Amino acid sequence: MSDTNCETQLRTAGSELNRRIIPKNMSTGHGETILVVDDDVAILNLVRDCLQRLGYVVLTADRPFEAIRLAEKHIQKIRLVITDVIMPEMNGRELTIRLMSLKPDLKHLFMSGYTADVIGDRGVMEGGGSFIQKPFTMKALAAKVCEMLTEKKVEDNSPSKGHIRPFFMCFSEKTSLIT
């Protein structure tokens, strides 16, 4: 019985914490569904947690074929795919091509620890999509996702933009995700 009480208390405390840590000027979602794909489970979980705190419904896959399976099941709900570029089985571009065969207007955001120039040289950015470089802040992720979903440019005015800092927690614009 005490386990149930403890779990309920933690959930309530976490909800209050999550509301306090999202700055008012940060872009947030309204229940849109996002599929996140990354073979690094730690990064996958951090991105999921960030997006959930921002108000999105998040589906996750740590392998491209798992992402395809999830997409086949939920394709009508998925508004955006955020995928790592370099993964086993297939790269992020190949994955988005497969997913776009299910939903041609599916928006996609590539993420990588490699620079956009290196990714461009590998042909990953051919055919559209957008790119966010790891590490990134929660505010930068929020802005990029909002930009992708609304097709309007959202500025990331973080004072730390362009600086790489170690990752502690994905809670505010002053923290970042590691590659």
Domains and CATH numbers, the chain: 27-131+146-150 (3.40.50.2300)
- Looking at residue 147, its pLDDT comes to 93
pLDDT > 70? residue 22:
no
The pLDDT tens digits of the residues spanning 99-145 come to 999 999 999 999 998 877 777 766 666 766 788 999 999 999 999 99
Helix or strand or coil: residue 22? coil
Report pTM. 0.75
